[in-house]
Structure 1
Amino acid sequence: MGSSYVNGGGERGLDGAGPGSVDKGVDYANYFCTYSFLYHQKEMLSDRVRMDAYYNSISQNKHHFIGKTVLDVGTGSGILAIWSAQAGARKVYAVEATKMSEHARLLVKANGLEDIVEVIEGSMEDVTLPEKVDVIISEWMGYFLLRESMFDSVICARDRWLKPTGVMYPSHARIWLAPIKSHLIDQKRDHYDGTMEEWHGFIDDTRNSYGVDMSILTEPFTDEQKKYYLQTSLWNNLRPEQVIGTASIIKEMDCLTATVEDILVIKTQFFSSILEEDTKFSGFGGWFDVHFRGRSESPATTEIELSTAPSIENGTHWGQQVFLLNSPIRCSKGDNMNVSFVMNRAKDNHRLLEAEFGCEFKLASGQPLQPFRKKFFIE
């Protein structure tokens, strides 16, 4: 969940440009079909932070749209295409992989823009346009920015159809991480312990009632539940006071020049200082922001930022990704941490992500603290 989107990069694998061979039918069933429902579009269209950022970026930078050609990658309901036309675009190509394209056509016609906006049903990798475009606009961002691998198709569209002088909407993106405190760490551990207690009761009951010993399955069941409860990141709307340390940018992207290879693996190291006295470090919170700046040769008149940070009032439908430790660590103001971070696409599903944190502490008290390393699944 995260955008009204056309192909999110899976089909790139079919021609060797992406992360391996992907079955189009399976990819559609697992992913695209979600975006063909109006209830899902409504959730995104009701996100005022999202909507205001895109609306303002277009309406306050009409010089990028007046008399220009626009490509909306993953048009969904068609709202960005409609705004582009209302801002003065000469022609808008609105590409959508799902049957949501039918609703988009109705909406375009109802707003009297069918002579400007052309809705095209198909994947971005397969679509052929009659001309190059001046602007590519897309709401491609997934959870923690890169989940769903949707930016791949924007890159494909850019490389095939954007004029050398063209602009990207949004133009830049960043991913952030910061140490947090959260009561969810105890809740997740309690759920795991309760599930394992239930399992052992199930083993005893099956043996006593039906004469079958199922204990051989305890190890794989344990691994399965550990992954679900203790190793999978969570969607959450963090409150600003839950961020207990300095936030760091772990990835910056220029949408005009970024490549698929740039985002297949994110590897970095950052430092953070605890800002709160006598607190519990529960893990890390992650979020993103995107910016509408135009390009150096054709800058935006008004730069607009779309942020999903915990400080944003009322939040967004993206929320934040929360990476929880198995047990909290007691820390205090002035403590420092050196964090290594690696994130790559999951081996069994290119739309999901895997992340690994390594953390070393330097406590202001001088007390030694064991470093840790933990892997997470972003699903």
Structure 2
Amino acid sequence: MAMNGVVPGSRAGAAVAPFKMDKAADFANYFCTYAYLYHQKEMLSDRVRMDAYYHAIFRNARHFAGKAVLDVGTGSGILAIWSAQAGARKVYAVEATNMAQQARKLVEANQVGHIVEVIEGSIEDISLPEKVDVIISEWMGYYLIRESMFDSVIHARDRWLKPSGVMYPSNARMWLAPIASHVGEQKNQEFQNAMVDWDYFNQEMNDEYGVDMSVLTTPFLEEQRKYYLQTSLWVSLYPNQVIGAPALVKEIDCHLATIEDISSVKSIFKIPFTKGQTKFCGLAGWFDVHFKGSPIDPADHDVELTTAPMYDQATHWGQQVFVIHPSFDIQDGDVLQGSMEIVRSKQNHRLMDVTITHEVQKSEGSASPPVTSFFYIE
């Protein structure tokens, strides 16, 4: 789960994904964030998130009553406590960081210590005395799959979920839509300002210290371009900034998905513009998850958690915006078409590399040249 203004992509509780990488480095770079109550508080304050999980559990208490539950990445323990309050017989709350110690305190203070067992360790390393009826987890990162925590949920499912068991959430979807916003102009201006500042800096180094820094101008430019123009932006959009019907990028069945299904996402989109004359400046990505139960044991109430642009509230995930340079003047009848590919970064599998190819088909028949842009979800 992502944290606005603190650490991008921070999430409540997690478990090491089964990749060949140094565990100590992964812990230092990722898991240690969740050992702080400050970060847990930020996520617990997300009303959209909290309401969705609360209603999913208590409106479908039948799935929990008398059952064994596994909470993957319990964080503060809130989902484990709710599961117990909904009637679970036993809850195994697994947490990779020492936030597990705080979770135990909270569990005891809420008088469910006889039901909830907090286990400190990664889901790949721990062992349970039984198979479980329910796996619950809040594993979603920026644009759903950043952080790769779903890998750990898949591991838990394949090892510990009964054939008749249910996943909470059960389904997830990724969306993409064109937007109109001034954020592109702002980031481009910041990039230009950074380069102007570099020129002043280079001149000052020459004048004051006799050192010519110009050999580093190109590397600095590439670094700043990646930071300002190619790194996706955390933005909380309003619905009226979306200028075309959202396209479905990926649909995930949490009961069946494999790691291969989510390690590379490819999609083709064709989106008519719908907001009259305006400027198309970028694409926004968001996700939703559903709590539907399973095909053989459907939920009594299908609850949705969406991170789509909203007027009255927002989630800490926000939306991920991919700024397009230059922007395009568009009107009703024009069509955006292209493709999107999301793969895991070779340097850090919890981060994502994005390639977007797009063109604008004008209503009078002409088309813009295809443009391919590279982005990073960091």
Contact 2:359 2:367 in 1 (8 A): no
Rounded to whole Å, the distance in 1 between the matches of 2:16 and 2:181 is 32
SS in 2 for 1:351: coil
How do residues 124-273 of structure 1 correspond to structure 2 at under 5 angstroms? 124-273=123-272
Rounded to whole Å, the distance in 2 between the matches of 1:256 and 1:204 is 60
Q: 2:12 aligns with which of 4, 8, 31?
A: 4
- What is the CA distance between 1:360 and its match in structure 2? 2.1
Contact 1:245 1:275 in 2 (8 A): yes
SS in 1 for 2:111: coil
- What is the CA distance between 1:76 and its match in structure 2? 0.4
SS in 2 for 1:216: helix
Rounded to whole Å, the distance in 2 between the matches of 1:245 and 1:83 is 39
- What is the CA distance between 1:201 and its match in structure 2? 1.1
Contact 1:5 1:150 in 2 (8 A): no
Query: Could you report, residue by residue, the CA deviation over 1:114-151 in whole angstroms, capped at 9, with x for unpaired residues?
Result: 11000000001001001000000000000100011110
**Aligned match of 1:373:** 372
**Aligned match of 1:16:** none
Identity among equivalent positions (%) equals 58
Query: Could you report, residue by residue, the CA deviation over 1:159-192 in whole angstroms, capped at 9, with x for unpaired residues?
Result: 1100010000000000000000110111111111
Shifted more, 108-117 versus 205-214: the winner is: 205-214
1:30 and 2:25 aligned: no
Give the letter for the 1:74 counterpart: G
Rounded to whole Å, the distance in 2 between the matches of 1:22 and 1:198 is 38
Rounded to whole Å, the distance in 1 between the matches of 2:130 and 2:368 is 60
Rounded to whole Å, the distance in 2 between the matches of 1:90 and 1:7 is 24
Q: Aligned pair in 2 of structure 1 residues 188, 28: CA closer, same or farther (>3 Å)?
A: same
Query: Could you report, residue by residue, the CA deviation over 1:216-257 in whole angstroms, capped at 9, with x for unpaired residues?
Result: 111111110010011110000001110001111100000000
Rounded to whole Å, the distance in 1 between the matches of 2:200 and 2:214 is 11
**Aligned match of 2:304:** 305
Rounded to whole Å, the distance in 2 between the matches of 1:36 and 1:299 is 35
Contact 2:180 2:282 in 1 (8 A): yes
**Aligned match of 2:72:** 73
**Aligned match of 1:17:** none
- What is the CA distance between 1:366 and its match in structure 2? 2.6
Give the letter for the 1:337 counterpart: L
**Aligned match of 1:344:** 343
Query: Could you report, residue by residue, the CA deviation over 1:51-79 in whole angstroms, capped at 9, with x for unpaired residues?
Result: 01000000011110111000000000000
Contact 2:353 2:377 in 1 (8 A): yes
- What is the CA distance between 1:339 and its match in structure 2? 1.5
Query: Could you report, residue by residue, the CA deviation over 1:252-300 in whole angstroms, capped at 9, with x for unpaired residues?
Result: 0000000000011101101100001111000101100000000111000
Query: Could you report, residue by residue, the CA deviation over 1:179-209 in whole angstroms, capped at 9, with x for unpaired residues?
Result: 0011011111111111001111111111111
1:353 and 2:361 aligned: no
1:296 and 2:304 aligned: no
Give the letter for the 2:158 counterpart: D
Rounded to whole Å, the distance in 1 between the matches of 2:349 and 2:13 is 16
- What is the CA distance between 1:313 and its match in structure 2? 2.8
SS in 2 for 1:80: helix
SS in 1 for 2:186: helix
**Aligned match of 1:18:** none
Query: Could you report, residue by residue, the CA deviation over 1:33-58 in whole angstroms, capped at 9, with x for unpaired residues?
Result: 11110010001101111001000000
Rounded to whole Å, the distance in 2 between the matches of 1:209 and 1:312 is 53
**Aligned match of 1:54:** 53
Where do 5+ consecutive residues of structure 2 fail to align? 3-10
SS in 1 for 2:352: strand
**Aligned match of 2:5:** none
- What is the CA distance between 1:8 and its match in structure 2? 4.5
**Aligned match of 2:106:** 107
Contact 1:8 1:148 in 2 (8 A): no
- What is the CA distance between 1:326 and its match in structure 2? 2.0
- What is the CA distance between 1:325 and its match in structure 2? 1.1
Query: Could you report, residue by residue, the CA deviation over 1:5-46 in whole angstroms, capped at 9, with x for unpaired residues?
Result: 22151xx12xxxxxxx21111111111011110010001101
Rounded to whole Å, the distance in 2 between the matches of 1:287 and 1:357 is 16
- What is the CA distance between 1:365 and its match in structure 2? 2.4
Contact 2:133 2:162 in 1 (8 A): yes
Rounded to whole Å, the distance in 1 between the matches of 2:227 and 2:75 is 31
Calculate the aligned-residue CA RMSD, in Å: 0.9
TM-score, length of structure 2 as denominator length: 0.96
Rounded to whole Å, the distance in 2 between the matches of 1:86 and 1:232 is 42
TM-score, length of structure 1 as denominator length: 0.96
Contact 2:202 2:212 in 1 (8 A): yes
- What is the CA distance between 1:312 and its match in structure 2? 6.0
